[in-house]
């Protein structure tokens, strides 16, 4: 495991990188019978691009989702640089090395960089040398009843903006994969007595749908608002800087003790859960599938993938599904079906077809 904390160590890595390229270029020229003094620019560019493609950066890599993404990257042969903002996280990664929770630590496939999400220049420095960045940041307020108070909206948006700006500043980063949420797609202002309003609300909720910001504010859906504003800000900065951006709009994450390890994030997502269930919009995704989806989108970005992708593997549609969700989250079942039993709200259909098609194509390419 490499710990990146000094300019000297980073400078040494750059020098080593340059020497390796020169060595590769010289060897190729000898094989081709060419003059060593000729500069093999195309060959050097190929090797540079190849190395950038294989080194990937993950923010919040010690989070539940971050760990899953890191392990997926390692299993596919990538090297990973994890961004942490304190020594405690560095120690936690060392503990993962001992426990075997991260599979790439023993063969030096992981580096650790110290950088604050509030420091654009520090992030840009930490990203240098990586071709792509995964921003998995999720912010919760342990003191807030919902796990995500109004004040956290600006915190999350600012951190996302800083990551995107840092990607734009970095000379090496070309792609960014942002973890967003399905709640950025599902909340729409709807008046059952207003036919014009109903005509403007799609029955199928897919990657083209955006939640209504004013509705989120009026209903104090702060988690949805934070994710919504962050994602929009990310696309605005990406368009301005030329960065290629893809976002994963994830359903409620489930899997190995997720809700125990991340109770506030679960509570924050589930605000308005009764209405989600009634409208057919309560969806979950297993942590492993979500991590694989991130990698599929990332690899697809080497070709034509970009933009938004909705990710879920199960829609909770009946009491059996609710019971399973109760077991996974520990929430009260009446909180979900209590609203549904006396409601006549319009139902919708969720679509993740764009992501499914991409993952099928990526899987076929990998097999071939």
- State the catalytic residues: 227
- Alpha-carbon dihedral angle through residues 12, 16, 19, 23, given to the nearest 10 degrees: 170
Residues 288, 298: Cα–Cα separation, whole Å? 15
Backbone φ/ψ region at 242: left (φ over 0), alpha (ψ -120 to 50), beta: left
CA distance 186 to 279: 10
H-helix or E-strand spanning residue 345: none
Residues 357 and 293: beta-carbon distance below 8 Å: no
Considering Cα of 270, then 274, then 276, then 280, what sign does the dihedral take? positive
Tokens of 228: 């919504």
DSSP-assigned letters across all residues of 113-164: EE--TT-HHHHHHHHTT-SEEEE------TTSTTSS-THHHHHHHHHHHHHH
């Amino acid at each position: 495991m490499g710990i990146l904390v000094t300019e000297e160590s980073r400078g040494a890595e750059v020098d080593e990188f340059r020497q390796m390229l020169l060595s590769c270029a010289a060897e190729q020229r000898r094989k081709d019978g060419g003059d060593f003094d000729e500069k093999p620019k195309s060959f050097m560019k190929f090797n540079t691009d190849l190395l950038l493609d294989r080194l990937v950066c993950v923010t919040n890599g010690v989070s539940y989702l971050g760990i899953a993404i890191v392990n997926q990257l390692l299993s596919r042969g990538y090297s990973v640089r994890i961004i942490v903002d304190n020594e405690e996280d560095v120690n936690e990664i060392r503990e993962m090395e001992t426990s075997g929770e991260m599979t790439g630590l023993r063969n030096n496939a992981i580096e650790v960089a110290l950088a604050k999400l509030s420091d654009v220049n520090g992030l840009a420095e930490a990203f240098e040398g990586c071709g792509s960045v995964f921003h998995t940041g999720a912010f919760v307020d342990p003191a807030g009843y919902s796990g995500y108070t109004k004040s956290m909206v600006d915190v999350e948006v600012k951190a996302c903006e800083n990551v995107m700006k840092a990607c734009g500043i970095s000379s090496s980063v070309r792609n960014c994969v942002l973890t967003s949420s399905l709640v950025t797609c599902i909340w729409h202002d709807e008046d059952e007595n207003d036919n014009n309003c109903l005509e403007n609300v799609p029955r199928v909720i897919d990657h083209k749908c955006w939640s209504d910001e004013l509705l989120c504010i009026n209903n104090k859906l702060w988690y949805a608002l934070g994710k919504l504003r962050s994602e929009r800000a990310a696309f605005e900065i990406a368009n301005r800087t030329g960065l290629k951006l893809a976002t994963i709009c994830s359903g409620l994450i489930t899997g190995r003790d997720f809700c125990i390890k991340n109770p506030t994030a679960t509570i924050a997502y589930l605000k308005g859960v009764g209405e989600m269930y009634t409208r057919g919009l309560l969806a979950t995704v297993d942590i492993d599938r979500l991590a694989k989806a991130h990698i599929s989108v990332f690899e697809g970005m080497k070709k034509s993938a970009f933009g938004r992708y909705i990710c879920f593997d199960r829609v909770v549609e009946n009491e059996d599904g609710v019971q399973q969700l109760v077991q996974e989250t520990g929430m009260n079942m009446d909180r979900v079906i209590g609203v549904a039993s006396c409601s006549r709200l319009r139902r919708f259909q969720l679509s993740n077809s764009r992501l499914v098609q991409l993952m099928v194509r990526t899987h076929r390419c990998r097999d071939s």
